[in-house]
Amino acid sequence: MDKTGRNGLRIGDCELDDFYERFQNLIKKHKQLLTHYNYEANLEKEIQEWFEAIDKIKTIPFINSEYFLKEALSNKKKVLAEGAQGTLLDVDFGTYPFVTSSNTISSGACNGLGVAPNKIKNVIGIFKAYCTRVGAGPFPTELKNNEGEMMAEKGNEFGSTTGRARRCGWIDLPALKYAININGVTELSMMKSDVLSGFQKIKVCIGYEYMGASIEYVPYDLNQKSIKPIYVELDGWPEDISQIKSKSEIPTAFKKYIDFLESELKTKISIISVGPDRSQTLFR
């Protein structure tokens, strides 16, 4: 709320002469808000530790990212920006209200770094060979059975920050197509393909049954309980693919899975991960 209320502190403010005054004004504002909840606390210790941390931060050189990146791009340098969290957690275009507090789609790189949209040349969409979600929110393809538990166990599906178990399910192509479209994805990278090894059959969601009709897009309110996934079933592969080193070693059933996804998504899957180590990566 401090940012949208236009009174929050920014990192560059800590170098200004009136930084402490700005900080005190913000403290005063928050204390006034907290009086509505009869909340009182002595935060002197935390404030002291916070200012000690600020002093350490001030020893690090600051840069204006918009100028720094403009110079890098002008000098033909390559710049890689990595986004965190999935498309459907975007505060504007995600499964609201089950979203995060920021823009997670590719255009967020422009806002976050100060880069012009026309400077972005390639957008690599990263997705898992199956679907996961942490916490509440719509998940049409969720598996609440042994298959879902198998995915979670093999994929070590626990939140990296919270440690919460992730919900698991089959891949959802309408959601993935939505992500490709809204991010302007130029190529795809499929992660955790090895987790699907050992499944006799693999399902792919190609659409939804929604309000008595079949649709192939993500509806405005994905939270509706009436949404049911429409599946195509493909053969699984028993082989352990975690040790393959080239695309020529890809099992036939796995190749058919890749080909089917590319055909439906109209986007090339140029990178395939078959394990947690960077060496377990195939380029196509």
pLDDT per residue over 180-234, tens digit each? 999 999 999 999 999 999 999 999 999 999 988 999 999 988 877 789 999 999 9
CA atoms of 284 and 274, how far apart (whole Å): 13
Q: Over the chain, what is the mean pLDDT? A: 94
For β-strands 166-169 and 131-134, DSSP reports them as antiparallel
CATH 3.90.170.10 residue window(s) in the chain: 122-283
Instruction: Please determine, for residue 1, whether its predicted confidence score (pLDDT) is greater than 70.
Output: no
Share of the chain above pLDDT 90, in %: 83
* Fold of the domain spanning 122-283: Adenylosuccinate Synthetase; Chain A, domain 3 (3.90.170)
Average pLDDT rounded to a whole number, residues 31-38: 88
